[in-house]
A and B are shown apart, each in its own frame.
Chain A
Amino acid sequence: MIAEIGQYALALAFALSLAQVILPAWGARRNDPVLMSSAGPIALALFGFIAFAFGALVQLYVTSDFTVVNVAENSHSQMPLIYKITSTWGNHEGSMLLWVFVLAFFGALVAEFGSNLPDRLKALVLAVQGAVAAAFLSFILFTSNPFARLVPAPAEGRDLNPILQDLGLAIHPPLLYLGYVGLSISFAFAIAALIEGRIDAAWARWVRPWTLAAWIFLTLGIAMGSYWAYYELGWGGWWFWDPVENASLMPWLAATALLHSAVVMEKRDALKVWTILLAILAFSLSLVGTFLVRSGVLTSVHAFATDPARGVFILAILTFFIAGGLTLFAFRASELKQGGLFAPISREGALVLNNLFLTAATAAVLVGTLYPLALEALTGDKITVGPPYFNLAFGGLMVPLVFAMPFGPLLAWKRGDLMGVAQRLMLAAALAVVAAVVIAAATTGGPVLAPLAVGLAVFIMLGALTDIAERAGLGRVTARVALARLAGVPRSGYGTAIAHFGVGVCLLGIVCETGWSLEKIASVKLGDTVTIGARSLTLDRLENRTGANFRARTAVFSIREDGAPQGTIEASRRMFAARQMATTEAGIRTFGLSQLYVSMGEESPDGHISMRATYKPFVTLIWLGAVVMALGGALSLADRRLRVGAPRPATKRPRAPVPAE
């Protein structure tokens, strides 16, 4: 019964989404305030119906109702409750439902909190949102019905893919979708602005918080996914350049670019056309990502769907929105008036450079991701574009970008003084060189470039601190004045510095992990000891354990550093009976910021187990850096100027006085 009600709610939601397109758009055309104002309530109702359908599916999973195909294929009565809930979106149908749920959630937010938006803009934005919702709801209803019944019902479900039975999965997709789908708001605003043919700094002020919020979720979602792959897949890799990962990285890069160009538009009324284009591209890349993951064109951990009908359907949706958006852009962009002149060496110039590199890097990732698919379709040749390509193409574009990063915030608007900025960054640069030299002298082995990269990371972090110190006039004014100035720095100023600092932290983690990881592969029996760096691992015992729905074979190693015991580390292999599938549970111990990572292979009849132990120095910085970035974004989002976002004329902003040179 619940399944039928859920499906009915979805069908009603589809009808509502069509109404959300037609009524407000028609109202905007006829300038009818009543029709236009219908958008808000419809969007709220749409959210209500989709939330109900989603809740219904969760309920079916919780009660293990195997008369529903989706539940029978992805759940198991003996699974812990938390995984029963998370399996709701651990499959194709459920994750698409989560997708539209998040979409409707954002639509409801615009309806609820967009009271300061001009009526026409709000109506058009919600109409565009409605169109996206209608497209994906029809996709669910016609190709991926999560509520389809199964006759006869099996006594037991087929279980969730064991590698997905993990808390990381509980958080990863919702976070990622909040980011992916959040970009639909920027897209809707861009399309609405093009239809209106009018765009100004106030527009950027409305769009920026939404983009920023989506960006924060996307950042956290990607970091979460990376950490999940790291500890769950048992290989110890944190980024594989897998198409599914690229699918989330590309919108992130585009959103990062959009975030920065929106600043220029808000502050200086420049780069309007470019910002609109980026808003369209960012959401287009979200759609491309959804297509890659959900159509089954890839073989990968995440791509569980293998139905070509779905692929064609999503491709049609994708083509409609991307081609439609770009066509509208081509016709209307010339009507947007350009403003705000600036010299090449200026804050705006730096942000343009940022955008150029970020979009070029996005293109590099896109080419690497789609090239194998295109080549196979055209010539039948099967190729892999792996990490070497991405490291070279993506890394090559990232290095100049991050090197330029500390310069940007220090440059003045309109016309900057590059020499002056370079002077102010002198201390940071000097310390970075010292760090690189010390590292080069202190370490043996590792890539030649690694100490240089450490220097770069240090430069970025110190550069971010320099930005704040300069705003306070540290060293030039008394401590009291400096403190007062620090308090006066707007939150978005701190946000920028912290987010940029986070990039440095992340880079430092990446460099240390890649450059100086120690790895040992061995075949050991009880009592054997393996040394890795300063630590030794002794296989103490092998045990059989049982979980709710699996049996595990666990190897317990005791850790010693220079003879002193440091506790134990447990690696295991789990066997899931329902799917006859084994997973590797790596043992991970954190020492400071570094981690020891042990995974266990098969056990041979004579009692030997193969094992791999890796010591990963400063590996946690990779994810901590991402969290710091998100924190910076959150702080920027909390800035009063952004939160108010009122359509008032751009008055003089309260800013920390720029110290005289």
Chain B
Amino acid sequence: MTRKGRRLVLIGAGLGVLALAAGLILSALTDTIVFFRSPTEVAQQQVAPGARLRLGGLVETGSVVKSGTLTTFKVTDGNATVKVAYSGILPDLFREGQGVVAEGALQADGSFKADSVLAKHDEKYMPREVADALKAQGRWQEGGPAPGAASPPAQRAPGS
């Protein structure tokens, strides 16, 4: 095989792998991405039942009901609420009045069936999407105390 021929084989193999990778990436991206929605967005937009999405907001105070391993609670952003049902162990940071992100699908009756519940933040910060969604609803100003936060952020020394 000539030098040129070998180079062509090399380039061909490279393009082949590239095409395979691009195909896999694009098809995987279109099929598997999950959108984040706040309760208001769920109420305003027509979200098809069964479509996977991440629902984020605050756990409405007094809405958590447990029976065995099944937990139901309401997620709110101040304007709208969505009822969520989840079966399993809740994360350590799951608490009434605190931020939460639930991943799952909307049911035909408008409730939300979650298969995972995330509350991966410490006391000071809430999940970024939730914070943004709350800001969009005018419920929380940057720098102000997070609604439901247990303790205010520590005071920093001037100039530090």
Residues of B contacting A384 in the complex (Cβ-Cβ under 8 angstroms): 33-36, 54, 103
B160 within 8 Å of A (CB atoms): yes
Residues of B contacting A612 in the complex (Cβ-Cβ under 8 angstroms): 88-89
Chain A residue nearest to B10 (CB atoms) is A352
Contacting pair A581 B93 (CB below 8 A): yes
* Contact partner, A363, options B21, B54, B88, B159, Cβ 8 Å: B21
Contacting pair B24 A299 (CB below 8 A): no
Stretch of A314-322, A454-462, A547-555, A597-605 with 4 or more beta carbons under 8 angstroms from chain B? A597-605
29 residue pairs of the A-B complex, CB under 8 angstroms, read A145-B160, A151-B157, A151-B158, A154-B154, A158-B154, A161-B122, A299-B121, A341-B3, A341-B6, A343-B6, A344-B1, A344-B10, A344-B13, A367-B29, A368-B29, A371-B33, A381-B35, A383-B36, A384-B35, A384-B103, A389-B28, A392-B28, A392-B32, A393-B21, A522-B69, A580-B150, A580-B151, A610-B68, A610-B89
B92 within 8 Å of A (CB atoms): yes
Contacting pair A344 B24 (CB below 8 A): no
**How far is the CB of A254 from the nearest CB of chain B, in Å?**
15
A148-B157, A521-B88 in contact; A382/B129 too (CB < 8 A)?
yes
A635 within 8 Å of B (CB atoms): no
A12 within 8 Å of B (CB atoms): no
**How far is the CB of A339 from the nearest CB of chain B, in Å?**
11
Contacting pair B160 A148 (CB below 8 A): yes
B90 within 8 Å of A (CB atoms): yes
Per the 8 Å Cβ criterion, residues 1-60 of B in contact with A are 1, 3, 6, 9-10, 13-14, 17-18, 20-21, 24-25, 27-29, 31-36, 54
| Residue picked from B32, B121, B123, B125, most chain A C-beta under 10 Å | B32
Contacting pair A344 B6 (CB below 8 A): yes
Chain B residue nearest to A612 (CB atoms) is B89
Contacting pair A389 B29 (CB below 8 A): yes
Chain A residue nearest to B38 (CB atoms) is A382
Residues of B contacting A72 in the complex (Cβ-Cβ under 8 angstroms): 154
What are the interface flags for A522-549 relative to B under an 8 Å C-beta threshold, 1 for contact and 0 otherwise?
A: 1100000000000000000000000000
What are the interface flags for A264-307 relative to B under an 8 Å C-beta threshold, 1 for contact and 0 otherwise?
A: 00000000000000000000000000000000000111000010
* Contact partner, B92, options A301, A582, A608, Cβ 8 Å: A582
A151-B157, A385-B29, A393-B25 in contact; A599/B89 too (CB < 8 A)?
yes
Residues of B contacting A336 in the complex (Cβ-Cβ under 8 angstroms): none
A466 within 8 Å of B (CB atoms): no
The CA of A352 and the CA of B150, in the complex, are separated in Å by 56
Residues of B contacting A573 in the complex (Cβ-Cβ under 8 angstroms): 92
For chain B, which range describes its interface: under 10, 10 to 19, 20 to 34, or 35 or more residues?
35 or more
B128 within 8 Å of A (CB atoms): yes
Residues of A contacting B103 in the complex (Cβ-Cβ under 8 angstroms): 384
What are the interface flags for B57-99 relative to A under an 8 Å C-beta threshold, 1 for contact and 0 otherwise?
A: 0000000001011000000000000000001111011000000
A18 within 8 Å of B (CB atoms): no
**How far is the CB of A67 from the nearest CB of chain B, in Å?**
9
Residues of A contacting B6 in the complex (Cβ-Cβ under 8 angstroms): 341-344
Stretch of A84-92, A170-178, A353-361, A480-488 with 4 or more beta carbons under 8 angstroms from chain B? A353-361
**How far is the CB of A371 from the nearest CB of chain B, in Å?**
7
Contacting pair A149 B157 (CB below 8 A): yes
**How far is the CB of B40 from the nearest CB of chain A, in Å?**
14
Chain B residue nearest to A158 (CB atoms) is B154
* Contact partner, A602, options B9, B18, B90, Cβ 8 Å: B90
Contacting pair A579 B122 (CB below 8 A): yes
For chain A, which range describes its interface: under 10, 10 to 19, 20 to 34, or 35 or more residues?
35 or more
The CA of A371 and the CA of B121, in the complex, are separated in Å by 22
Chain B residue nearest to A161 (CB atoms) is B122
Contacting pair B25 A69 (CB below 8 A): no
Per the 8 Å Cβ criterion, residues 210-237 of A in contact with B are 234
A141 within 8 Å of B (CB atoms): no
Contacting pair A150 B29 (CB below 8 A): no
Per the 8 Å Cβ criterion, residues 306-359 of A in contact with B are 306, 341-344, 352-353, 356-357
Residues of B contacting A600 in the complex (Cβ-Cβ under 8 angstroms): 89
Contacting pair B21 A397 (CB below 8 A): yes
Chain A residue nearest to B88 (CB atoms) is A521
**How far is the CB of B103 from the nearest CB of chain A, in Å?**
8
A299-B120, A299-B127, A360-B20 in contact; A389/B156 too (CB < 8 A)?
no
A-B pairs, 8 with minimum CB distance: A382-B36, A360-B21, A601-B89, A388-B32, A148-B160, A392-B28, A299-B128, A356-B17
Residues of A contacting B13 in the complex (Cβ-Cβ under 8 angstroms): 344, 352-353, 356
A647 within 8 Å of B (CB atoms): no
A421 within 8 Å of B (CB atoms): no
Contacting pair B24 A601 (CB below 8 A): no
Contacting pair B24 A396 (CB below 8 A): yes
A256 within 8 Å of B (CB atoms): no
A470 within 8 Å of B (CB atoms): no
Residues of B contacting A300 in the complex (Cβ-Cβ under 8 angstroms): 120
A364 within 8 Å of B (CB atoms): yes
What are the interface flags for A141-168 relative to B under an 8 Å C-beta threshold, 1 for contact and 0 otherwise?
A: 0000100111100100010010000000
A299-B128, A344-B13, A388-B28 in contact; A580/B123 too (CB < 8 A)?
yes
Residues of B contacting A372 in the complex (Cβ-Cβ under 8 angstroms): 33
Residues of B contacting A601 in the complex (Cβ-Cβ under 8 angstroms): 89-90
Given contacts A368-B29, A383-B35, 7 further A-B contacts (CB under 8 A): A154-B154, A352-B10, A383-B33, A397-B24, A521-B88, A579-B122, A584-B92
**How far is the CB of B95 from the nearest CB of chain A, in Å?**
9
The CA of A611 and the CA of B88, in the complex, are separated in Å by 8
Chain A residue nearest to B127 (CB atoms) is A299
A73 within 8 Å of B (CB atoms): yes
* Contact partner, B89, options A149, A363, A521, A581, Cβ 8 Å: A521
Chain A residue nearest to B130 (CB atoms) is A299
Residues of A contacting B89 in the complex (Cβ-Cβ under 8 angstroms): 521, 599-601, 610-612
A41 within 8 Å of B (CB atoms): no
What are the interface flags for B125-160 relative to A under an 8 Å C-beta threshold, 1 for contact and 0 otherwise?
A: 101110010000000000000000011001011111
**How far is the CB of A523 from the nearest CB of chain B, in Å?**
4
Residues of B contacting A364 in the complex (Cβ-Cβ under 8 angstroms): 21, 24-25
**How far is the CB of A584 from the nearest CB of chain B, in Å?**
6
| Residue picked from B29, B90, B127, most chain A C-beta under 10 Å | B29
**How far is the CB of A530 from the nearest CB of chain B, in Å?**
11
The CA of A76 and the CA of B131, in the complex, are separated in Å by 29
* Contact partner, A581, options B29, B68, B122, B156, Cβ 8 Å: B122
A583 within 8 Å of B (CB atoms): yes
Contacting pair A388 B120 (CB below 8 A): no
Per the 8 Å Cβ criterion, residues 222-265 of A in contact with B are 234
Contacting pair A367 B17 (CB below 8 A): no
Contacting pair A357 B17 (CB below 8 A): yes
A386 within 8 Å of B (CB atoms): yes
Contacting pair B32 A523 (CB below 8 A): no
* Contact partner, A521, options B3, B87, B122, B151, Cβ 8 Å: B87
* Contact partner, B1, options A343, A357, A367, A582, Cβ 8 Å: A343
The CA of A108 and the CA of B147, in the complex, are separated in Å by 50
Residues of B contacting A397 in the complex (Cβ-Cβ under 8 angstroms): 17, 20-21, 24
**How far is the CB of A361 from the nearest CB of chain B, in Å?**
8
The CA of A604 and the CA of B88, in the complex, are separated in Å by 14
| Residue picked from B10, B14, B33, most chain A C-beta under 10 Å | B33
What are the interface flags for A484-517 relative to B under an 8 Å C-beta threshold, 1 for contact and 0 otherwise?
A: 0000000000000000000000000000000000
Residues of B contacting A356 in the complex (Cβ-Cβ under 8 angstroms): 13-14, 17-18
